[in-house]
Structure 1
Amino acid sequence: MSTKKQARAHAQREQRKYEARQAAKRAKREHRIRIVAAITAGALVLGAASTLIVMAVTNDDEVTTPEASDTTPSATASANPSADSELELTTGWATSPTPPDPSLAEDREWEATIATNLGDIAVTLDGVNAPQATASFVALAEDGYFDQTECHRLVTDGIYVLQCGDPSATGTGGPNYTYGPIENAPTDDVYPAGTLAMARRGGDAESMGSQFFIVYEDSTIPSDAAGGYTVFGQVTEGLSIVEGVANAGTITGEPDGQPAQSVIVNEVSVS
């Protein structure tokens, strides 16, 4: 078989694998929707609809959009992410006013692969010590929320992080919900290389959404009035990919900005 035919055959196999993974994600999402619908119907029949209030009530607190900090992995959350990013969030957990329940993390360690245009980054997710963050990340990943998103921020001085998880790639996007409190933050403010943690707004422990950061070099990130940053995972393979992005610097050459080497998250798979 010629080299071109081999390459074409390989591309076809990869496409079939990708389509199979997407079909599996859709099946999981539909199964979850059916379960929630069944629970809701049962509760109404039994006259116990009040048990679903937490799932159904919209958060009446207005979400503000403060300036992002220049020295911390901050996320400027939006009360209406789709308005900022022109995304149409019509299905899945991203449209929910409340985050996935921490019990979805199943009190266990998860394996995940962040497949990027530069290669795969394998991580473990800590559903034991950071159940809320893990439950949110897993639910969004299974919905395909992170697919085809761009990592929007690289910091190369003071702290050493690559920030991703915003579909708008502006630092203002996220799901319809935010959550807290902070989980599993290091008491000494030291985040070792390979740490996977949640970004949030400065001084707001309840402002986490979908934006996360990967620490590619040991970093001391000072706690603020709200505390530290939720550590919910660890890179096990592929950290060299992030290190290569860091070596390329930012588009402007400044120590904090958009990576010069574009990083596209093709999909995130979990097991």
Structure 2
Amino acid sequence: MTRSTKQERAYQKRRHDKWEQRSRERAARRRRITLVSAVVVGLALVVGAIVLIVANQPDEQAPDPATTGESVDPATPDVAAPLPTTDPELYDAPPDPAEAEGRTWNLTLQTSAGDIGLEIDGENAPQAAANFLRLARDGFYDGTACHRLLPEALLQCGDPTATGTGGPGYTFGPIENAPEDGVYPAGTLAMARQGENGESMGSQFFLVFADVPLPSDSAGGYSIFGRVTEGLEILQQVGSAGTVEGSEQPALPVTIEGVTSE
């Protein structure tokens, strides 16, 4: 049965209202997860400090980054494997790349620092594009904090726990559309992953605001699935503010408030 124009508008409004409600509920749930994660990490640090004081071993060496999963090269985005979770909102598998293949989308990444325009490239990176589009559409990124900043190069976002270890409940690969020369121009939108693992992409991505070389490893480079079309100066301002002392967290906090289509 064909709906009238008035009925169609009412139908689309109901769909939009329902989508906004789900987005708000997911954002609230992400914030609760982030708070719980922060409390757990804080308790772990306190216990660790007590153990070190009791042990009193001044000659103990710092952990070797090569054996702890930390990034050896500070210019290389490195994402730990997603934490196990029983959250029913997480997914079982990545979306079909056919959902994005051969098309481009113009989106707005709404953040606490300002709006950033994005063009998503489904032609050259269909799997990464389909993944970002689904998570954005479902409100997965709403309320999440960008957790990692390399002040002269890039901002990393997309982790619902803001710890660098969170994800959507799955990983995917292989790497798509990585530059042959290893140089990622300003405005690049790319997927973060674990070092040496081209099948470890999930929800985390990074936005490049200055031309930067990122060395390939045994798995290759990083999947470029889009570009920044507006708001590059916002990212540069975040970079200029630097990081919180002793960490890679941006000193100017950036929280994703939502992703909308133009």
TM-score, normalising length from structure 2?
0.73
What is the DSSP-based 3-state SS (H/G/I as helix, E as strand, rest coil) of the residue aligned with 2:218? coil
Partner of 1:43: none
Instruction: Give, in whole Å, the separation in 2 of the partners of 1:241 and 1:226.
Output: 32
What is the DSSP-based 3-state SS (H/G/I as helix, E as strand, rest coil) of the residue aligned with 1:235? strand
Partner of 1:192: 185
Q: Is the 8 A contact 1:250 1:260 kept in 2?
A: yes
Partner of 2:154: 161
Match of 1:238 among 231, 242, 247: 231
Describe the shift of the 1:220–1:169 C-alpha distance in structure 2 as closer, same or farther (beyond 3 A): same
1:14-93 equivalences in 2 (<5 Å): 23-24=18-19, 66-69=69-72, 70-80=74-84, 82=85, 89-91=87-89
Q: What is the CA RMSD across the aligned residues, in angstroms?
A: 2.2
Partner of 1:173: 166
What is the DSSP-based 3-state SS (H/G/I as helix, E as strand, rest coil) of the residue aligned with 1:122? strand
1:114-125 equivalences in 2 (<5 Å): 114-125=109-120
Show structure 1 runs of 4+ deviating over 4 A: 19-22, 25-28
Instruction: Give, in whole Å, the separation in 1 of the partners of 2:225 and 2:257.
Output: 21
Match of 1:95 among 77, 86, 91: 91
Q: Is the 8 A contact 2:145 2:256 kept in 1?
A: yes
Describe the shift of the 1:79–1:152 C-alpha distance in structure 2 as closer, same or farther (beyond 3 A): closer
Describe the shift of the 1:150–1:66 C-alpha distance in structure 2 as closer, same or farther (beyond 3 A): same
Q: Is the 8 A contact 1:153 1:259 kept in 2?
A: yes
Match of 2:139 among 144, 165, 174: 144
Gaps of 5+ in 1: 1-18, 29-64, 83-87
Gaps of 5+ in 2: 1-13, 24-67
* Displacement after TM superposition at 1:22 (Å): 5.9
Instruction: Give, in whole Å, the separation in 2 of the partners of 1:117 and 1:25.
Output: 18
Q: Partner letter of residue 226 of structure 1?
A: A
- Percentage of identical aligned residues: 52
Instruction: Give, in whole Å, the separation in 2 of the partners of 1:144 and 1:231.
Output: 22
* Displacement after TM superposition at 1:74 (Å): 1.2
| 1:114-143: CA deviation from partner (whole Å, max 9, x where unpaired) | 100111000000000000000000011111
* Displacement after TM superposition at 1:269 (Å): 2.1
TM-score, normalising length from structure 1?
0.70
Q: Is the 8 A contact 2:83 2:165 kept in 1?
A: no
Q: Is the 8 A contact 2:146 2:253 kept in 1?
A: yes
Count of aligned residue pairs for this structure pair = 204
Q: Partner letter of residue 257 of structure 2?
A: N
Describe the shift of the 1:216–1:78 C-alpha distance in structure 2 as closer, same or farther (beyond 3 A): same
What is the DSSP-based 3-state SS (H/G/I as helix, E as strand, rest coil) of the residue aligned with 1:257? coil
Q: Is the 8 A contact 1:194 1:239 kept in 2?
A: yes
Q: Is the 8 A contact 1:89 1:95 kept in 2?
A: no
